[in-house]
A and B are shown apart, each in its own frame.
Chain A
């Protein structure tokens, strides 16, 4: 099996697994990452690196394990009953699956945006953005919280649309606005990495366009990993693309990984070529 893995500059010795302060340019590296749901082997032996402050897309047909792989990167996979992970995921030099590492603390550093907008329905727009800090028990003055909410709504390109309805329910916004509210909510805890699981698949084209625009802008400040089944979207927003495919055995594996423009123009694996030319998936 040809697993072509582009390796950016970062290489860390495997023994450097003791928790350390994150590197100045946080990035992710997985080492033989496997994931199961009960007896179902969903992700097999994924080893790859994600460059910091850029957008990396994970594409592939339904059931290829791309969402599962994403959820392994912030330890969200394990909240599913019966789910299991084997292998290593390094944030900087720290293996987040090393014993003693607190999953809750990891999720504080790696934010996540889900497929369906899921603002907290009983909270206002303001409270949704403030939810992260509050749920983590941070105490902030009123003025600091106001400033933090405004800053993150601006980062999510939502401020101008909601500044007059901060007290309204987050569920009263349009679908696209709700999703940007969820992005603002995820940004409010200042994650170094943002994982996005098909963030635009439930949205109309204009809302999708705004999300994509936002993803490109945010890549200046943080590392973004975006799962999408939309190849155009991957080519529009990402610098690198990983193509995953479930084999005959149903196990999702990384087939090809490289610069987005190269992967879409000159794929090295025939399965990648078959997928991007629309012959399956």
Chain B
């Protein structure tokens, strides 16, 4: 092989390298263009299709009965806010605690076990999470479809996201600060609460908000838990509407008006998640991105 290559004149070897280089550059550029182009097309399509559906009633009114035009997705917006916030309340403390356990308390084997468990949960199909919460809460403990069950299902999705992102930002806190605090005679838990977490607070906040934004768009976990609701509801133990559920229902309907509303709902979800991500990029310190 190598002897064969040596018999080829040097200029031909060089030319072959230049050609290979050019081909690879074209392929990579094309792949990048497809990825970025896809994003632009999706965003553009959602924008074009969604904007006509937006009006005041769309945000404030509840859905009209089958076949009747007008109305809006007000209950779904309220529902998504409630369920996501409740899920965040459950998931953020647990996720942060898991990250502290992994980085500060048991960085060794137990930390690896917890990290692996978080990866497994993150890899679960979200419908499986929905089925689990359905059998555990909806069929079991609570006995009914409810906002609470939906929040628990979303929390299961959020916990590994919060834990892994928080773990990364906690690792960015210099060890010298932990040493300084320990050398002052501080017990380990105070070092974590008063030095490590405050130093990483911007990153931890980013982790929490991103996880909530990510989970707010999930549909599958809510299908079997929150169920959906055509009316405004704030009762945590009753079924509640949510934007992804409303989109799912409208998109699957035979009515053009509802199709338009599905696009409108998608636009709201995409816009909120994009706005949160951009805001975090703008305000979070470089280290936390």
- Chain A residues close to B by CB (< 8 Å): 74, 76, 79, 81, 104-109, 111-112, 114, 116, 118-122, 131-132, 134-137, 182, 185-186, 189
Contact = CB atoms under 8 A, between A and B. Distances in A.
B281 to A, nearest CB: 21
B49 to A, nearest CB: 46
A189 B107 CA distance: 29
B103 interface: no
Interface residues on B, range: 20 to 34
B235 interface: no
B107 A122 contact: no
B181 interface: yes
B184 A136 contact: yes
B200 to A, nearest CB: 9
Given A135-B191, A182-B180, A122 B186 contact: no
A118 B174 contact: yes
Interface string B14-45: 00000000000000000000000000000000
A135 B186 contact: yes
B180 A104 contact: no
Given A120-B199, A122-B198, A131 B177 contact: no
Given A107-B185, A135-B195, 7 more contacts: A79-B182, A81-B107, A107-B182, A112-B183, A120-B177, A132-B185, A135-B186
27 contacts: A76-B179, A76-B183, A79-B179, A81-B107, A104-B182, A104-B188, A106-B185, A114-B180, A116-B176, A118-B177, A118-B180, A119-B180, A120-B177, A120-B199, A131-B184, A132-B184, A135-B181, A135-B184, A135-B186, A135-B195, A136-B184, A136-B190, A137-B190, A182-B180, A186-B183, A186-B184, A189-B185
B198 to A, nearest CB: 5
Nearest to B187: A104
Contacts of B186: 104, 132, 135-136
Nearest to A121: B199
B194 interface: yes
A124 to B, nearest CB: 12
B185 A131 contact: no
Given A118-B176, A120-B177, A122-B198, A104 B185 contact: yes
B254 interface: no
Contacts of B65: none
Nearest to A128: B180
B190 A135 contact: yes
B108 interface: yes
A107 B188 CA distance: 12
**Could you tell me the dominant secondary structure of chain B's interface residues?**
helix
A86 B191 CA distance: 27
B286 to A, nearest CB: 14
Interface string B195-210: 1001101000000000
A122 B195 CA distance: 8
A41 B253 CA distance: 73
Contacts of B201: 122
A279 B212 CA distance: 63
B33 to A, nearest CB: 42
A69 to B, nearest CB: 16
Contacts of B182: 76, 79, 104, 107
| 5 A-B pairs with the lowest CB-CB distances in the bound complex, closest first | A108-B185, A135-B186, A112-B183, A132-B184, A118-B176
A136 B188 CA distance: 10
A121 B107 CA distance: 24
Given A118-B174, A134-B194, A111 B184 contact: yes
Contacts of A119: 180
Contacts of A107: 182-185
A109 B190 CA distance: 18
B194 A114 contact: no
Nearest to A112: B183
A135 B185 contact: yes
Given A120-B195, A121-B199, A111 B108 contact: no
